[in-house]
Each structure stands twice: as structure tokens, then as C-alpha cells.
């Protein structure tokens, strides 16, 4: 059920881009926390909520938890996903209602401004090596780990499983998540 004014939980969330409910289900099974139904119709959000209650959803507009249009954010009490810091400043919404897309290096500045930072790892990897013809998963995973370490609130990717592992490992190293298995060296 949609809860107006819902906030992101602490830590780094994994946002998976999904073009269908089947892709969303697969992404959730691989460890996604938040689903971006990019370009989906409003009825798709309602169907998503019925199928996956309690999972945060992002959509262009409508009754999503995270939307891309300021008017929708105001009307629904949702968080606004801004394409960059300039869009965040122009939105007129308070900083705690904004998720701002930035590159990994700008995560600390976004946090200092009071914004939740979103890093699109797939896009950042493409910008880092524009001559690469396809996604380099190792680079995407490295960008995700770095972004988590720097305090990004959300990391977006289509490579859910390896990025989930990187986020979990980084949070464990930082001490913000207990390790999945702790073994002491007993000699």
C-alpha cells in the first residue's frame, strides 16, 4: 500500500530498472530493494503494489513512492527523483523529499546538501569508458561499492545480483551491516 511521505530507509538501497512485472519479480529475487518501472503506465504501479506489497516503487508519475515530476511528488507526498542538483534546487521541495542523481564523486556534496544521492552505476560505467561496446560488470560493481562507501542512498542498475553482493560487502566492511557469516581464526 502506498504511504504518502514515505522516506528511504538507512543504508544504500538497490534500485533495479524493470520494463515489466516479470523483470521486477526477477530483480526482487536477486536482491533489489526498490523497483523503477520506467515508462510504465499508472495501472502498472497499482498492479505492482498488489503483487509486491511493501516494496518501494519508482515511476514517472502517479502513486509511486519515488516520482520524476514535482507536481506528482507534491500531490502524492512521494519523494522526487531529480536528474541533477540543478533540478533539485529548482523543484522547490525540501531536501528531505529529494533523491538526486549524481556521479559517485558527488555523493558527499549531495549528502552535505541534505539530499539522498542516487548513483546510476550503469550510466557511470558507460561515462567512465565511452568506447566500451557493452556493460562491463566489474566496473559497474566497483562503482556501486564506491558509491555505497561514500554514502549513496540509492544505487541503480540492471545488474542486480553482482551489485547486491557488492553493496552487502561494502556495508559489512563499513560496519553498517553485520556479515552474513562471521568466522574467527582459532589456531
Instruction: State the average pLDDT for the chain.
Output: 88
For the stretch 140-151, pLDDT in tens is: 999 999 999 999
Ramachandran angles phi, psi of 118, nearest 5°: -115, 130
For the stretch 125-137, pLDDT in tens is: 888 777 776 668 9
Q: Where are the domains of the chain?
A: 13-174
What global pTM score does this model have?
Answer: 0.87
For the stretch 21-54, pLDDT in tens is: 899 999 999 999 999 998 777 678 888 989 999 9
Beta strands 154-157 and 98-101, pairing class: unpaired
The yes or no reply on domain 13-174 and CATH 3.20.20.20 is yes
Radius of gyration of the chain (CA): 17
What pLDDT does 146 receive?
96
H or E element at residue 17: strand 13-17
Amino acid at each position: 500500500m502506498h504511504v504518502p511521505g514515505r522516506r528511504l530507509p538507512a543504508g544504500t538501497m538497490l534500485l533495479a530498472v524493470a520494463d515489466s512485472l516479470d523483470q521486477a519479480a526477477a530483480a526482487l529475487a536477486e536482491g533489489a530493494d526498490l523497483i523503477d518501472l520506467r515508462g510504465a503506465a499508472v495501472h502498472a504501479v497499482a498492479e505492482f503494489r498488489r503483487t509486491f506489497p511493501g516494496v518501494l516503487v519508482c515511476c514517472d508519475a502517479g502513486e509511486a513512492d519515488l516520482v520524476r515530476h514535482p507536481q506528482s511528488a507534491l500531490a502524492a507526498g512521494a519523494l522526487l527523483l531529480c536528474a541533477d542538483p540543478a533540478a533539485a534546487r529548482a523543484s522547490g521541495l525540501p531536501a528531505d523529499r529529494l533523491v538526486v542523481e549524481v556521479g559517485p564523486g558527488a555523493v558527499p556534496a549531495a549528502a552535505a546538501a541534505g539530499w539522498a544521492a542516487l548513483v546510476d552505476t550503469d550510466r557511470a560505467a558507460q561515462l567512465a569508458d565511452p568506447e566500451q561496446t557493452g556493460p562491463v560488470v566489474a566496473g559497474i560493481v566497483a562503482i556501486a561499492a564506491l558509491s555505497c562507501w561514500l554514502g549513496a542512498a540509492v544505487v541503480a542498475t540492471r545488474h542486480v545480483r553482482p551489485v547486491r553482493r557488492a553493496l552487502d560487502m561494502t556495508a559489512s566492511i563499513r560496519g553498517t551491516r553485520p556479515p552474513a557469516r562471521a568466522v574467527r581464526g582459532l589456531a
